[in-house]
Amino acid sequence: MDWKKEIQILEETLEQLKARYADRIDLKTLEELRVKFLGKKGPIKALFDFLKIAPKDEKRELGQAVNRIKGLFESWIVEMRQSLEYHEEEIRDLTVPSRLPSLGHRHIITQTIDEITSVFKGLGFAIATGPEIEQEYYNFTALNIDITHPSRDAFDTFYLKIPPDKKKGKFLLRSHTSPMQVRIMEAISPPVAAIVPGRVYRPDAVDASHSFMFHQIEGFLVDKAVKFSHLKGVLLEFARRYFYEDVKLRFRPHYFPFTEPSAEVDISCQLCKGEGCSACKQTGWIEVLGCGMIHPNVFKHLPSEYEGYTGFAFGMGVERLCMLKYGIPDIRLFYSNDLRFLSQF
Ligand code: DAH
């Protein structure tokens, strides 16, 4: 065996391999090359076999040469494998889609408020907000809620331990958004149409349908010769847009101190189309809001420029409307910050 020639060929082959795979090699090819050159049937093993039977005077030189060429192949393979792994890591970092930060979104109550107010905005109503800390005068007196009315009781309203105002009475957390009727009309000349979303507070025990804090939307419109039929038209349009297109409304006579006449409004049950089902307690109707024509006694508290005007008002609970629309069974779900619930919307 001309082992010197063999080793020279191997050296040249290695140089060729280095040149050929300088840029890129895949693991499979690299492994194939390792087996081909360093494996049991490879040329280097053959040289070692030959070493055993080589003439004594050549053994030393041959041994060194074979070990050297074996080392060269081995270190090239190790080097290539390392660069490949490094490369793969680099590629992994660059191409695997990174985990996106989870984006938040508006709370379903905020979404519902936006949805409802935008319907009224489309009907020409202005959107206003007011103070959550109110005064007796705006929350009750100006709204014709008599001093003996039970809602003025401390059991039904959160009074604040702040010295009362001489003219406007005690400070409290507003129990409804209706006070903004008077505040807005004190500030703005008629005609006026406004919608007022916001938080309200009542010392109710918390259960599936009650909370000490919830959201209401008050709406009212005051102009010359406003009639109950205008109220019906506006509310029907709202119900069509917020609930469903062919919804029907039912106005049931009711009592509110600040409206006369007053009504509670039901929508036809969408599930059973009025047939009666568990969602509507077999009645075919679902109560959604209160409304009426603004009481003359409320007008008495308004600036004199409101003389000769009439108007309607309505008030609705945001949580209630949202629960009806989506079939949400418990008001507490809105406030418990459980993402399994909130991320559905
Ligand atoms: N303020 C009433 C409440 O909190 C809701 C309401 C009913 C508002 C009738 C109105 C109305 O403007 O006309 O229960």
Tracing tokens 């939307």 back to the chain, one arrives at: 217
pLDDT value, residue 270: 86
Atom of ligand 1 nearest to the CA of 259: 13
- Nearest Cα residue to atom 3 of ligand 1: 176
- Indicate whether residue 144 lines ligand 1 (CB < 6 A): no
Give me 311's structure tokens: 């108007």
Q: Which helix (H) or strand (E) holds 268?
A: strand 259-268
- Closest-CA residue to 267 (of 253, 254, 284): 284
Atom of ligand 1 nearest to the CA of 312: 13
Q: Whole-angstrom Cα distance, residue 338 to residue 330?
A: 13
- Nearest Cα residue to atom 6 of ligand 1: 315
Rg (CA), the chain: 41
| Residues paired with 293 in a beta bridge | 312
Q: Which of 139, 177, 178, when mutated, tests ligand 1's pocket best, judged by the most ligand atoms within 8 Å of its CB?
A: 178
Strand ranges, E, within 14-87:
none
Mind listing the pLDDT tens digit of every residue in the chain (345 residues)?
789 999 999 999 999 999 998 878 888 999 999 999 999 999 999 999 999 998 999 899 999 999 999 999 999 999 898 888 777 666 666 777 778 888 899 999 999 999 999 999 999 999 999 999 999 999 999 999 999 999 999 889 999 999 999 999 999 999 999 999 999 999 999 999 999 999 999 999 999 999 999 999 999 999 999 999 999 999 999 999 999 999 999 999 999 999 999 999 999 998 888 888 888 889 999 999 999 999 999 999 999 999 999 999 999 999 999 999 999 999 999 999 999 999 999
Q: Whole-angstrom Cα distance, residue 170 to residue 147?
A: 12
Q: At CA 310, angle to CA 309 and CA 314, rounded to 5?
A: 140
- Tell me if residue 96 falls in helix, strand or coil: coil
The set of residues, in sequence order, having a beta carbon less than 8 Å from that of 329 and lying 6+ positions away, is 208, 323
Tracing tokens 């938080």 back to the chain, one arrives at: 199
Burial class (CB in 10 A: 0-12, 13-18, 19+), 80: buried
Atom of ligand 1 nearest to the CA of 219: 12
pLDDT value, residue 85: 78
Backbone angles phi, psi at 285, to 5 degrees: -130, 150
How many angstroms does the Cα of residue 333 sit away from the middle of ligand 1? Answer: 24
Please check whether residue 129 is in contact with residue 197, taking contact to mean a CB–CB distance below 8 angstroms.
yes
Burial class (CB in 10 A: 0-12, 13-18, 19+), 256: buried
pLDDT value, residue 343: 93
How many angstroms does the Cα of residue 284 sit away from the middle of ligand 1? Answer: 23
Pairing, β 126-127 against β 192-201 = parallel
- Closest-CA residue to 292 (of 309, 304, 310, 308): 310
pLDDT, tens only, 172-188: 999 999 999 999 999 99
Q: Which of 143, 149, 176, when mutated, tests ligand 1's pocket best, judged by the most ligand atoms within 8 Å of its CB?
A: 176
CATH superfamily entry for domain 108-342: Bira Bifunctional Protein; Domain 2 (3.30.930.10)
pLDDT value, residue 155: 87
CA distances from 339 to 102, 105, 108, 218 (A): 12, 11, 11, 29
pLDDT value, residue 278: 85
Strand ranges, E, within the chain:
126-127, 133-135, 171-173, 192-201, 213-223, 249-256, 259-268, 285-294, 310-317
Tell me the CB-side half-sphere exposure of residue 306, using CA atoms within 13 A: 24
- Nearest Cα residue to atom 12 of ligand 1: 314
pLDDT value, residue 101: 85
pLDDT, tens only, 313-336: 999 999 999 999 999 999 999 999
- Closest-CA residue to 318 (of 276, 288, 294, 282): 288
Burial 305-342 (b: 16+ CB within 10 A, else e): ebeebbbbbbbbbbbbbbbbeeebeebebbeeeeeeeb
- Tell me if residue 342 falls in helix, strand or coil: helix
